[in-house]
Chains A and B, each alone.
Chain A
């Protein structure tokens, strides 16, 4: 049932720190089970490196079930590798063939500086959420949960957007290093819901302006949607652009009143 892959060549990006230039280093995997996940293959390689007295390859990972969004990796020029709708942690070696050369690189974006090897700092995403990716509802004052009905299609659409795991594949895959898919998914999640209406326009302006400080701009290639392990739609980007336009006018009016 399980097969083995032979003679894989891994070209992995090694970089000792943020200020190091970094380089590709080649590693040979003589034999690996196709039941192994891609990260388990790296675990095996790391065990070997440690046995050889070398430093293990640093890469971000945690839940390994495709939900925490910690793992990253550009595999053969694709964010999260070749399998659609799959984060790197759920990518398995059966996707590859014996003798393959596999190029592994970190996410590359100016807003995601490399920490070491394949690990990058995605703190800019947190800054976008801090700017407005929330509904202000201090603990304790909430009314009964069934007080505001939410039509099922609206709740479902909000959930579609809310599935974002914040992995950064959209930025990594975008030829422009734009974060519009990430930002718009959170805006759409909150702006679709009745609870989010009070801050709808201040939210979209604050979040988009913060996004602007770190990331490139969207030219509608659609690469983000194709790379997203949760398949989040670029329709949300259009919704964000619409809300931002409205927000600019509405917020100006609100400002004039004060």
Chain B
């Protein structure tokens, strides 16, 4: 535990100005709002803002900016903004409403989020997130999001991991869907009114920086292959996380890092790429053709018992294995928390069980989550009532009835805390280029609490960005900006055309998916749940070789002049390769264990993560140098004024 922090190990980079307002943490946001520059309502229409992505952050930002009177262009590679992957979030959204009167407050949500993130997030940002969380619920209810209600008609809450209060608002198991549709509908209204222009099935392929500020983007129309430029006063990237670098993750198939990575190549620093979150209860991979993993709600662990057979050579069916030959390892290792041990701990325990050869299922790649005891204790009907929708989903995917055969689960990647470095205003190190939602790094530190992703996306899009962007735009009033006829746009367009032409003309022997799968294996094995210096070095040896092979032996069939999903994939895998290298480098350099980043060398005698606050209480922000293997690492020191650093313990 350290109260005062050691000075930065390296001189602070002048670009890494977090711009956190001075003053007590609870007053920073008000202080900012009171002193920021405003754009007069009549002048707002003089500014064009590009929003890339239409998930919670993108849709809410675009809709709000449109309402304010800005000219907004929103880009999505989906057919409709409603498809964005925010839609898949199940559990809920946190807000410090204290409707339950159980002692919640803005400070407590702030504290829980900082602690949950293992003290690797900025106080100022997180406090603001907790503050605006209450406005989000008001806003979404006004828009008609059908949150769960109590019989009296008031909003219902439930509790979630990492918190001792009930502050999670939910809409059945589809909270993400309902929130996204709410934001989408608000965006649709602005499109209908003509305040927002929608470019669908259009993917960002480059950002353009002219005279030190972001001047616009270059896009590729997925339907026609047409590469085009779009100039704007500001660009907002709301393009999600990079969990698909693992190939198998709970992310949607199209989720990718391209937008963030292209911005990174143009000068935006990439922060903490090694902070990835693994969710402990997903359905294990069934075979080699598997394309993605499906999450099963963590609530199952309330009644399911996790076990593996004691004998690695066990071949009997689960119900034939006698009690004394089963290893209920979570109950054995963590007697006080048992099956409800925190996400990262139970994930690593499952990995160790499988690595010891005691995994279950045809591929021996899962652990049992057994409801037999619960059914015996509570009766079938009670258990069925609690989890029927999950049991049915499980059966649809695996063909097994979890009330008869124990469920098989295994951890999987599902969220990335790292992302583009942004300051308090959500601006990246490129002036005029913003990042919001999962695409930025700012609020979750090294680990995200359940039900906080939806909160952050909407906070950024509704209540932060629409304010902070004005502070930048005010300075551009009545100053001409470069149009798409500027030679730098033409050059970026040509580079993009050349790049896509190269994928087609390589005419090697392997598909983009094949490379993606191989890349994913390396990242998962060496930069997944548990990382070691040796493994990371190995990965950093293998990745450039595989990347070189990708460039030489890629095969993309078809051409670039009509819709070609193979070609789209090639571009995304290209960027994943480069990100993968940076991720491993970041994981190697961060010589501590914190949150989702677990370095096997840094653990205490109980196997718990061991932080090194003296040397690593900072954000690692990477600068592009032309080669991800030689990116430059910068540090932004984290200053804790309101909270004392403590060991993250849930015992």
Contacts and interface: CB of A to CB of B under 8 A. Distances in A.
Same complex: yes
Contacts of B153: 149-152, 155
Q: Nearest 10 CB-CB pairs, A to B? A: A149-B153, A130-B192, A142-B142, A35-B286, A134-B185, A55-B558, A137-B142, A145-B141, A142-B138, A159-B146
A252 interface: no
A52 to B, nearest CB: 9
B142 A68 contact: no
Contacts of B79: 60, 70, 121-123
A126 B201 CA distance: 13
B171 interface: yes
Given A92-B397, A134-B189, A139-B466, A69 B82 contact: yes
Given A67-B174, A143-B138, A50 B562 contact: no
A49 B566 CA distance: 11
Interface in B39-72: 60, 63-64, 67
B639 interface: no
B188 A40 contact: no
B622 to A, nearest CB: 29
A43 B192 contact: no
Interface string A70-108: 100000000000010010001010100000000000000
A170 to B, nearest CB: 16
B99 A67 contact: no
Contacts of A35: 286-287, 290, 398-399
Given A1-B362, A86-B396, A142-B135, A155 B141 contact: no
Contact of B146 (A37, A44, A63, A155): A155
Contacts of B198: 126
Interface string A8-41: 0000000011000000000000001111110111
B505 to A, nearest CB: 14
A17 to B, nearest CB: 6
B200 interface: yes
Contacts of A138: 64, 67
A145 B155 contact: yes
Nearest to A230: B174
Given A139-B67, A144-B138, A159-B171, A129 B185 contact: yes
Given A53-B557, A135-B142, A195-B143, A152 B88 contact: no
Contacts of B82: 69, 126, 166
A233 to B, nearest CB: 16
Given A60-B79, A145-B97, 5 more contacts: A40-B291, A130-B188, A136-B189, A143-B138, A150-B153
Contacts of A239: none
A166 B85 CA distance: 14
Contacts of A90: 393, 396-397
Contacts of A54: 557
A39 B290 CA distance: 10
Contacts of B63: 139
B87 interface: yes
Q: Most chain-B CB neighbours within 10 Å: which of A32, A49, A50, A166? A: A50
Contacts of A83: 396
B144 A196 contact: yes
Interface in A42-63: 43-44, 46-47, 49-51, 53-56, 58, 60-63
Contacts of A66: 393
Interface string B149-169: 111111100000000000000
Interface in B187-240: 188-189, 191-192, 198, 200, 223
Contacts of B393: 66, 90
- Interface range on chain A: under 10, 10 to 19, 20 to 34, or 35 or more? 35 or more
Contacts, number: 235
Q: Most chain-B CB neighbours within 10 Å: which of A39, A61, A138, A139? A: A139
A142 B85 contact: no
Contacts of A119: 563
B476 interface: no
A165 interface: yes
A65 interface: yes
A138 B176 CA distance: 20
Nearest to A186: B185
B149 A150 contact: yes
B186 A64 contact: no
B54 to A, nearest CB: 11
Nearest to B288: A33
Contacts of A58: 563-565
A155 to B, nearest CB: 4
Contacts of A69: 82-83
A148 B155 CA distance: 10
A61 B254 CA distance: 8
Contacts of A227: none
B555 to A, nearest CB: 6
B365 interface: no
Contact of A159 (B88, B154, B172): B172
B388 interface: no
Given A69-B83, A70-B83, A37 B142 contact: no
B188 to A, nearest CB: 4
Contact of A50 (B150, B188, B557): B557
B466 A56 contact: no
A145 B145 CA distance: 11
Interface in B513-540: 513-514
B294 A70 contact: no
Nearest to A155: B149
29 contacts: A2-B287, A36-B286, A36-B290, A37-B291, A39-B291, A40-B291, A51-B509, A56-B565, A58-B563, A64-B294, A68-B85, A70-B79, A70-B83, A90-B393, A115-B563, A135-B143, A136-B189, A145-B141, A145-B147, A145-B155, A150-B146, A150-B153, A155-B146, A155-B149, A155-B153, A159-B171, A163-B174, A189-B146, A190-B144
Contacts of A139: 60, 63-64, 67, 139, 186, 462-463, 466
B584 interface: no
A189 B223 CA distance: 33
B141 A50 contact: no
A142 B361 CA distance: 51
Interface in A108-122: 115-116, 119, 121-122
Given A47-B514, A125-B80, A144-B138, A68 B87 contact: yes
Q: Most chain-A CB neighbours within 10 Å: which of B141, B191, B287, B399? A: B141
Contacts of B297: none
A188 to B, nearest CB: 11
Contact of A65 (B154, B181, B289, B294): B294
A166 B185 CA distance: 13
Interface in A189-203: 189-190, 193, 195-196
A150 B146 CA distance: 9
Contacts of A123: 79-80, 200
A211 to B, nearest CB: 14
Contacts of B565: 56, 58
Contacts of B250: 65
B137 interface: yes
A104 B372 CA distance: 41
B99 A146 contact: yes
Contacts of A152: 149-151, 153
B144 A33 contact: no
Q: Most chain-A CB neighbours within 10 Å: which of B97, B152, B177, B466? A: B177
